[in-house]
Structure 1
């Protein structure tokens, strides 16, 4: 590996190696048969990274129980989280390998990460599955620094913590999938149940909403299976999320929801109801100062609902007002 490449990687991770060969090894995939791969460094890096994260949260949150600490550790060392560290530090550009499929999978992930907020930690359930090679090289680089520091864990944490940012905190965990799913179902009057089971060496998590099966996932680790199943469930229940998190505004008794017509249409599509039908109930005033009142009609499996909106100066605004009031009414009646 050329000295300029070594220097570039050292600059990105904020550490100057005494033994440059360690960094070369840390960036060598097993498909690259002309040199020793990163597997041994990944092995020790995986273990020591987990220990450092444990130490950090144990000291930072003295009142947390083992379950809370385990969730924080898992979120900070997950494949998704570490793969994003590799991308943000651009370590993927320096991996030595001989695997064309690896290039394709990494590119797809890089493109997906480019659409995300870099300050928002994502530990599970990104748009594209993270290639394991990316988390491997972060662990192997951590392992290489650890060995180069003569196995000094305190110096290692000081050295690599900045590279691992953003660290997932308890505040971030409040927005993690499990909490988000429970809050979403609670807001919509639905009961959520996550049932674990095993199939041989695999842990399986099944998600049920109001007693109906919604999603399932399996993994070697129980918590990973649970979080993957929850992410699948959140995706399937996204129509509920769009309604429950809609920005609502009340101004002089006029109630509106942003993009109400689109949200109402999507709710009907998911429920397999006919699409909403809009009608102009009132059209008054001179041509330069027209006023409109629109109504919307919804047909469910067992009933027909009609709702009139507030008076507006444009037809689209009048229809949006009717749609907003219809959404609120359906939510209050637990139809949504």
Structure 2
């Protein structure tokens, strides 16, 4: 059993756990967190404050540092992802930044790195129970879940990460480059487009899917005793339901059941941002070709089956700078423009997977 697992077991049971030997003039908690961060504070008092919960009276709490850390994390994550994905527009970058600094992500950081163990607070039983339950659920997961696992992430866990982030930023005298080098390792693994494509936000995706079919989708949670029951409706008809002790978890579970049912009936072709097709896909593909100085995309649209009504299918061709001809066929659509947009999305997605979007 690793050190943090032993520590967590003793923390939950109320037995003290052994800590790393503190540096001179540093408390055990400060020295332990510095070891996690691999950074020694010039002003240890900043980290002491970052680890002090507002429930402790007559002591500066982490609230101001939490506020600062929230802003700095958005800045640093935005800067990292801006450099890593030059082909993404504002909307795509915004979604990537959000998922990397969300309460869900930061709470998992607090559990994986063991930061919560060193929080100075009053003995708040309800808080301890929620954190313990979440930590156990995270340890049982095979991979991180960008949009919520079986237990809702307690906000206090994200608060700790943000307050420590603010303390580091103050300690390096607001040097963004130095700060990024220290804190980036704490946030890793960074969630990228591939992870979001594999695990889209289920409720947002279902809204998109059913809207394109002209249907109304919504989820309604109801409190029943000590649990919540969430029912998923399509045009007023119940299509899935799930119960959980937590309202958010019940909604997510019901959405995942509904999404699984939808995928069994028809294929779900989505981009990393959880949409059925990239918005304005033709424009994005056209702009990409202009930027790369490639020939403009050529679209060939025809009736999929003239004997069975008006369904169109489109093939788009792009010749890249290395003179390679790329051809992609979209799915059947009832309108020509929709068929072209679908084909454009397929091409854009294929070029991204082949790393053409990152080439100069």
Question: Does TM, normalized by the shorter one, top 0.5?
Answer: yes
Shift of the alpha carbon at 1:125?
Answer: 1.9
Name 2:156's counterpart in structure 1: 133
State the alpha-carbon separation in 2 of the partners of residues 193 and 96 from structure 1.
47
Q: Does 1:100 align with 2:121?
A: no
Shift of the alpha carbon at 1:182?
Answer: 5.0
TM-score (norm 2): 0.54
State the alpha-carbon separation in 1 of the partners of residues 252 and 129 from structure 2.
24
Q: What RMSD, in angstroms, separates the aligned Cα atoms of the two structures? A: 3.7
1:33-54, Cα deviation, whole Å (9 max, x unpaired):
1411000000000001001111
Choose which of 103, 113, 119 in structure 1 pairs with 2:138: 113
Q: How does 1:243-262 map to 2 (within 5 A)?
A: none
SS in 2 for 1:97: coil
Unpaired runs of 5+ residues, structure 2, are 1-21, 220-230, 242-247, 266-360
Q: How does 1:272-287 map to 2 (within 5 A)?
A: none
Shift of the alpha carbon at 1:243?
Answer: 6.4
1:237-288, Cα deviation, whole Å (9 max, x unpaired):
27638968xxxxxxxxxxxxxxxxxxxxxxxxxxxxxxxxxxxxxxxxxxxx
State the alpha-carbon separation in 1 of the partners of residues 249 and 216 from structure 2.
15
Name 1:84's counterpart in structure 2: 108
SS in 2 for 1:52: helix
Q: How does 1:1-336 map to 2 (within 5 A)?
A: 3-98=27-122, 99-117=124-142, 120-178=143-201, 209=234, 212=237, 231-237=252-258, 240=261
Shift of the alpha carbon at 1:79?
Answer: 0.5
State the alpha-carbon separation in 1 of the partners of residues 215 and 99 from structure 2.
22
| Alignment check: 8 A CA contact 2:53 2:119 kept | yes
| Alignment check: 8 A CA contact 1:109 1:129 kept | yes
- Larger radius of gyration, structure 1 or 2? 1
TM-score (norm 1): 0.58
SS in 2 for 1:72: helix
| Alignment check: 8 A CA contact 1:182 1:192 kept | no
Shift of the alpha carbon at 1:56?
Answer: 1.1
State the alpha-carbon separation in 2 of the partners of residues 50 and 214 from structure 1.
38
| Alignment check: 8 A CA contact 1:207 1:229 kept | no
| Alignment check: 8 A CA contact 1:215 1:232 kept | no
Name 1:258's counterpart in structure 2: none
State the alpha-carbon separation in 2 of the partners of residues 195 and 133 from structure 1.
29
State the alpha-carbon separation in 1 of the partners of residues 72 and 240 from structure 2.
34
State the alpha-carbon separation in 1 of the partners of residues 78 and 260 from structure 2.
37
State the alpha-carbon separation in 1 of the partners of residues 44 and 157 from structure 2.
20
SS in 1 for 2:198: coil
Higher strand proportion, which one? Answer: 1
1:158-198, Cα deviation, whole Å (9 max, x unpaired):
10101111111011110223379859x98xxx8875679xx
State the alpha-carbon separation in 2 of the partners of residues 158 and 73 from structure 1.
18
SS in 2 for 1:125: coil
| Alignment check: 8 A CA contact 1:109 1:130 kept | yes
| Alignment check: 8 A CA contact 1:121 1:166 kept | no
Q: 1:194 and 1:44, CA in 2 relative to 1: closer, same or farther beyond 3 A?
A: farther
Name 1:287's counterpart in structure 2: none
State the alpha-carbon separation in 2 of the partners of residues 193 and 175 from structure 1.
25
